[in-house]
């Protein structure tokens, strides 16, 4: 589900909120050294590297989809569902799980609880601009 929020400056911000469906979400690598270029021999060397990076990205997605075949039934049987919320930006690299900057994430028991938490977080984002933090687990 996508939740929208207008910040103080009037910009519309979009967040993705919902149960984690894939085993993990692959990231498209963005090496710093690939920025720029003048069309010279350097690009002849960069093109094969870009092809290899793209192929690696494709293989990572394939691995995530294959792992999901195992993880999805496990979640259904165990009843434990991770619910995540993270801002969406327009680049290929999502901010979900990037550089240790964890999204809002909470593990809940039961699919109905996951749907309820998803809707609650979507309402919180629309009202406050972010999900309400989860209460600490009681022990």
Cβ atoms of 82 and 107 within 8 Å: the answer is: yes
Q: Is residue 31 in some structural domain?
A: yes
Report the number of distinct structural domains present in the chain: 1
Determine the 3-state secondary structure of 124 from DSSP. helix
Whole-number percent of the chain with pLDDT over 90? 31
Lowest-confidence region among 52-56, 89-93, 108-112: 89-93
Contact 19, 118 (CB under 8 A): yes
The answer to whether position 103 is within a domain reads yes
136 located within any domain: no
- pLDDT band of residue 98 (cuts 50, 70, 90) is low
Q: According to the model, what pLDDT value does residue 110 have?
A: 92
The length of the chain is 139
Residue 134, domain member (yes or no): no
Residue 137 domain flag? no
Note whether residue 50 is domain-resident. yes
Please give the average per-residue pLDDT across 34-40, as a whole number: 57
Domain that includes residue 29, residue range: 2-128
User: Quick check: is 44 in a domain?
Assistant: yes
Q: Which has the minimum average pLDDT: 57-66, 114-123, 126-135? A: 126-135
Residue 92 has a pLDDT of 45
Contact 96, 73 (CB under 8 A): no
**Which of residues 65 and 45 earns the better pLDDT score?**
65
Q: What's the pTM? A: 0.58
Q: Residues of 41-50 as b/e, b for ≥16 C-beta within 10 angstroms? A: eeeeeeeeee
Position with higher pLDDT, 24 vs 63: 63
pLDDT for 129 beyond 90:
no
Establish if 113 belongs to a structural domain. yes
């Amino acid at each position: 589900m996508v939740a929208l929020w207008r910040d103080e400056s009037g910009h519309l911000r979009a967040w993705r909120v919902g149960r984690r469906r894939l085993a993990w979400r692959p990231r498209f690598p963005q090496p710093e050294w690939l920025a720029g270029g003048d069309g010279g021999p350097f690009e002849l060397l960069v093109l094969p590297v870009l092809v290899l990076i793209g192929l690696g990205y494709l293989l990572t997605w394939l691995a995530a989809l294959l792992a999901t075949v195992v993880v999805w039934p496990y979640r259904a049987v165990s009843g434990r569902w991770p619910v995540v919320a993270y801002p969406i930006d327009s680049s290929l690299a999502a901010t979900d799980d990037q550089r240790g900057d964890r999204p809002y994430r909470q593990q809940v028991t039961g699919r109905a609880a996951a749907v309820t938490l998803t809707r609650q977080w979507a309402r919180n984002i629309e009202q406050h601009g972010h999900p309400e933090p989860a209460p600490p687990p009681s022990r």
